[in-house]
């Protein structure tokens, strides 16, 4: 791997390669240091950036959303291949560095803001910018391609799937544990609301694991490139996406309980045990099972049955999505100590 442009330190597209030396020099010149609490761990292996872009199969039909511009190296690679790139960076210091590196390109929009409005929604200003770029040509479609900041990877992926028109694919570098939760199969310890949410709408594939030394500063954890492809047929089985999302978050909240109790607590106080038992029996589900043993199809059937049998509870469940999230059952601790401040 490697090839063209290696000796000159330039990419084939004529931008400087994001090497350790390049990053250290740029940060030193700007008098700044990476903020690891913002997930500022930069990929310093050009070949892995290339794998990310190639896995995404970025083409001239694509409007690409990049969350976390960083210094703009990936942005430049994307701009060479895509119709349009919307890249968002929360840190004004890095936004300024990226402006210098990316320059004025007609097919790039660099935004300096939080990609999230809150933990349950992508910022509407970003959606509007994407919409404008998509509207230029009906052939255009949205892809997420990003070296995602660890701190917001779950809400970014989750919330993009809540959109009426979600990205056709999401290809991203994320923490390996998160990738394992996304691709987890029923019966495994990692299988939970996030696995169900993503796999109920998409095909998922773990492309590559990445060791900490591929980043600067080095995180304490391994990463992975995940490729998530939207599947309209799978998605069409879910009649009410907002309800389904809230439902699975509630269902997996108490992993040690049996299914009957999990369903009862997901439904809330007003549901009666005999009603829940009757529903589980109609679905052929043993109440001594646990939600994490059910296949995606069984969980969709259960959600649809609950929605129909308990119509008066649907609104309150749908509106409760902010109370529980996919991370509830995961180890929150990992997020805090992902990166050494190695310099
Ligand atoms: N794309 C660059 C690369 O590949 O080297 C940088 C990726 S770095 C892992 C993640 C970037 O996301 C950081 O620059 C960080 O400041 C930014 N970031 C963190 N939280 C963010 C948020 N909520 N919205 C937008 N950008 C965010």
Residue 339 falls within a domain, yes or no?
Answer: no
pLDDT at 6: 44
pLDDT, averaged across the chain: 91
Question: Residue 251 sits in a domain of what CATH number?
Answer: 1.10.8
Binding-site residues, ligand 1, Cβ < 6 A: 18, 38-43, 67-70, 73-74, 88-91, 94, 114-116, 147, 149, 151-152
Tell me how far the alpha carbon of residue 69 lies from the centroid of ligand 1, in angstroms: 6
Residue 22 falls within a domain, yes or no?
Answer: yes
pLDDT at 331: 34
Task: Give 269-293 pLDDT, tens digit per residue.
Answer: 778 899 999 999 999 999 889 999 9
pLDDT at 322: 54
Task: Give 194-232 pLDDT, tens digit per residue.
Answer: 999 999 999 999 999 999 999 999 999 999 999 999 999
Residue 213 falls within a domain, yes or no?
Answer: yes
pLDDT at 321: 64
The count of structural domains within the chain is 2
For residue 330, pLDDT over 80 is answered with no
Residue 340 falls within a domain, yes or no?
Answer: no
**Contacts of 295-300 spanning 24+ positions with Cβ under 8 A:** 295/186, 296/186, 296/196, 296/199, 296/200, 297/237, 299/196, 299/200, 299/248, 299/251, 300/200, 300/237, 300/238, 300/244
User: What is the distance between the alpha carbons of residues 169 and 184, in angstroms, rounded to a whole number?
Assistant: 19
Residues 313 and 164 in one domain: no
Determine which residue's CA is closest to atom 3 belonging to ligand 1: 42
Task: Give 70-106 pLDDT, tens digit per residue.
Answer: 999 999 999 999 999 999 999 999 999 999 999 999 9
Tell me how far the alpha carbon of residue 245 lies from the centroid of ligand 1, in angstroms: 26
Tell me how far the alpha carbon of residue 303 lies from the centroid of ligand 1, in angstroms: 35
pLDDT at 18: 83
Task: Give 13-27 pLDDT, tens digit per residue.
Answer: 777 888 999 999 999
Task: Give 281-327 pLDDT, tens digit per residue.
Answer: 999 999 889 999 999 999 999 999 999 999 988 898 988 765 456 65
Residue 178 falls within a domain, yes or no?
Answer: yes
Final residue of a structural domain among 236, 260, 276: 236
Residues 119 and 252 in one domain: no
Task: Give 257-273 pLDDT, tens digit per residue.
Answer: 999 999 999 998 778 89
Instruction: State whether residue 210 is helix, strand or coil.
Output: strand
Residues 105 and 212 in one domain: yes
Residues 42 and 163 in one domain: yes
333 pLDDT band, cuts 50/70/90, is very low
Domain membership of residue 180 as a residue range = 3-236
Residues 228 and 290 in one domain: no
Residue 342 falls within a domain, yes or no?
Answer: no
Residues 164 and 265 in one domain: no
Residues 256 and 196 in one domain: no
Residues 179 and 307 in one domain: no
pLDDT at 336: 31
Tokens representing residue 261 in the block = 């109790």
Residues 218 and 276 in one domain: no
Residues 197 and 161 in one domain: yes
Question: Residue 48 sits in a domain of what CATH number?
Answer: 3.40.50.150
Residues 67 and 185 in one domain: yes
Task: Give 137-146 pLDDT, tens digit per residue.
Answer: 999 999 999 9
Atom of ligand 1 nearest to the CA of 151: 20
């Amino acid at each position: 791997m490697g090839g063209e442009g290696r000796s000159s330190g330039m990419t084939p597209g004529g931008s400087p390669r994001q090497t350790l030396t390049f990053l250290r020099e740029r940060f030193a010149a700007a008098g700044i240091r990476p903020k690891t609490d913002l997930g500022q761990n930069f990929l310093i292996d050009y070949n892995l950036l290339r794998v990310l872009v190639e896995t995404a199969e970025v083409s001239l039909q694509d409007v690409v959303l990049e969350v976390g511009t960083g210094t703009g190296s990936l942005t430049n690679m994307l701009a060479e291949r895509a119709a349009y790139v919307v890249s968002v960076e929360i840190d004004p210091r890095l936004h300024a560095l990226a402006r210098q590196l990316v320059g004025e390109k007609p097919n790039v929009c660099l935004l300096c803001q939080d990609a999230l409005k809150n933990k349950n929604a992508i910022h509407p200003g970003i959606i509007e910018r994407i919409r404008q770029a998509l509207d230029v040509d009906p052939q255009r479609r949205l892809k997420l391609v990003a070296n995602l900041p660890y701190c917001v990877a779950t809400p970014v992926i989750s919330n993009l799937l809540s959109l009426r028109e979600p990205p056709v694919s999401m290809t991203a570098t994320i923490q390996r544990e998160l990738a394992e939760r996304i691709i987890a199969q029923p019966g495994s310890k990692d299988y939970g609301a996030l696995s169900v949410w993503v796999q109920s709408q998409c095909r998922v594939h773990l492309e590559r694991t990445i060791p900490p030394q591929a980043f600067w500063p080095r995180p304490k954890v391994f990463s992975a490139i995940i490729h998530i492809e939207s599947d309209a047929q799978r998605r069409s089985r879910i009649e009410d996406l907002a309800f389904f999302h809230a439902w699975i978050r509630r269902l997996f909240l108490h992993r040690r309980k049996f299914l009957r109790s999990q369903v009862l607590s997901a439904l809330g106080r007003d549901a009666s045990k005999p009603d829940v038992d009757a529903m589980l029996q109609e679905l052929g589900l043993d109440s001594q099972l646990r939600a994490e043993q059910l296949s995606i199809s069984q969980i969709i059937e259960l959600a649809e049955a609950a929605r129909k049998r308990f119509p008066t509870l649907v609104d309150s469940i749908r509106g409760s999505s902010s109370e529980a999230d996919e991370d509830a059952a995961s180890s929150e601790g990992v997020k805090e100590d992902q990166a050494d401040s190695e310099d």
